[in-house]
Amino acid sequence: MAVTIPIWTGSSTFVSGSTGTFGFFDADSTYQAHADKVAAWCAGRLGYPINDVELQAVHFYACFEEASLEYSNQVNQFSIRDNMFQLQGSPTGGNLTGKPVNTNLGRLIGIAKNYGTEAGSGGYLSYKSASIQVTTGQQVYDLNDFTFEVAGDANKHIEIKKIFHETPPAIVRYFDPFIGTGLGSQTMLENFGWGNYSPGVSFLMMPMYADLLRLQAIEMNDMVRKSAFSFSITGDRLTLFPLPTYDYTLYINYITEEERSALQVITGSNVVGDFSNAPYELHRYNEINPAGKQWIFKYTLALAKEVLGNIRGKYSSIPIPGSETTLNGADLVSQGQTEKDALITQLRENLEAVSRQSQLAKMTEEADNIQSQLNKVPMPIYIG
């Protein structure tokens, strides 16, 4: 029983939901109206009615849907890529398709927080403290002997962020009579003959810079004449300089290496993490502008060529009475692929040309050019 599989008859009737496709756009009335027109147009471009076109309406519908999907996919991919910096961490709800996304500094500051951690200013990690009792005459201490704020950290690799071992501030020795720099006010009072009036509570109003100069003198004196306060760490050994002359508690700030290397995951459900859950839906066909629709039509034709080429190329030679012939399957496939590549390239180039970065560059260039032009305008001399 010979079975005749119908091929393109010159017309078709699009029935929503019965096209053998996914039906992503079937509900769109504009899409419905265009489906049959695109099918007829593609058939015409493939040679119908002079040539038979060994395709059915379902092939054209499938190509049309794939072209529409491809267009939406390309545009959405570009938007996701362009906005991903802002999108990551934002809610997945809603639909951003076709909507501009303004930049904000949230993610940038989020990244900067890691630098804050290193600088001891903000950041994601909290410094923890540990302490040890410093004994007079003992310079060297083992970090393992410290008492850690979190007991479990004693067995972990830590990174010391700060050791509170510093020269006492000069202000606490302001009145130190043995400081070497001397409090000049007492001598001055003596010289004025007022030294015996009230030796314990004599005051003289001095300008602020006199205090600052005195503090600087104390610090300079310490630096030149005394051992500097410093320390060294080698392995687990902490050595303090100078030799402690009294007992006190030494504090340090630290983080564990484990904490430093921990992933900073933005917690919370339903937040954008990557391409896969960025809230971009398919475009509505009727909202795609004519330029986009034209792209879809051309891509549909390229796909139809590919399909027809595959059909005609299934058998390398076709028997005809008394001979054999070859069809143009390979040519059609090649044409279709070339056209598809060209269309994709064209679309991507167009999208790249309107990326946020490109637009900013253009605006800068435009401003520079305008300024350059304005600089050529003669400036009149004002004569009042």
Partner 1 sequence: MALFGGQRDASLIRSLNRELIHRWIDTEVLFYKTQLNSISTNIYEETNNKVYQQPVLIPAIVTFDDPTWQSDDFGPDVTQTATFAFLLDDLVDNDNKPELGDVIEYHSRFFEVDSTISNQVFAGKDPSDWFGGDTHGYSVSYIVQAHMTRQSKLNIVKTRFGTSPTAKSILPNNL
Minimum CB–partner distance for residue 315 and partner 1 (Å): 7
Is 245 among the residues that bind partner 1 (CB under 8 A)?
no
Residue 4 sits in the site that holds partner 1 (CB under 8 A): yes
Q: How far is residue 248's CA from residue 133's CA, in Å, rounded to a whole number?
A: 6
Least CB distance to partner 1 at residue 361 (A): 54
Mark the segment that binds partner 1 (CB under 8 A) among 28-36, 56-64, 293-301, 307-315: 307-315
- The number of residues that bind partner 1 (CB under 8 A) is 20
**Least distance in angstroms from the C-beta of 321 to partner 1:** 4
Stretch 219-238 residues interacting with partner 1 (CB under 8 A) = none
Q: Which of 23, 33, 52, 230 binds partner 1 (CB under 8 A)?
A: 52
Element (H, E) at 141: strand 140-142
Burial degree of 302 (CB within 10 A; 0-12, 13-18, 19+): buried
From the list 9-17, 49-57, 74-82, 104-112, the region that binds partner 1 by CB under 8 A is 49-57
Residues 94-153 that bind partner 1 (CB under 8 A): none
Give the interface segment with partner 1, choosing from 2-10, 37-45, 74-82, 178-186 (CB under 8 A).
2-10
CA distance 182 to 342: 86
The Cα 158–Cα 238 span in angstroms is 13
Nearest in space to 145 (alpha carbons), one of 235, 243, 232, 236: 236
H-type alpha helices, the chain: 29-45, 57-87, 106-119, 184-192, 208-225, 257-261, 290-312, 329-353, 356-375
Task: Fill in the per-residue mask, 308 to 337: x = in contact with partner 1 (CB under 8 A), - = not in contact.
Answer: ---x--xx--xxxxxx-x-x----------
**Which one of 1, 263, 374, 381 is in contact with partner 1 (CB under 8 A)?**
1
Find the binding residues for partner 1 in span 54-73 (CB under 8 A).
54
Are 350 and 367 a contacting pair, CB within 8 Å?
A: no
Token pair 């190329």: residue: 313
In the complex, least distance from residue 56 CB atom to partner 1, rounded to whole angstroms: 11
Q: Which is nearer to partner 1, 8 or 61 (CB)?
A: 8
When the beta carbons of 58 and 163 are compared against partner 1, the nearer one is 58
How many angstroms separate the CA atoms of 130 and 147, rounded? 5
As given in the structure block, the two tokens for residue 36 are 């049959």
Rg (CA), the chain: 40
Q: Where does this chain bind partner 1 (CB under 8 A)?
A: 1-5, 7, 51-52, 54, 311, 314-315, 318-323, 325, 327
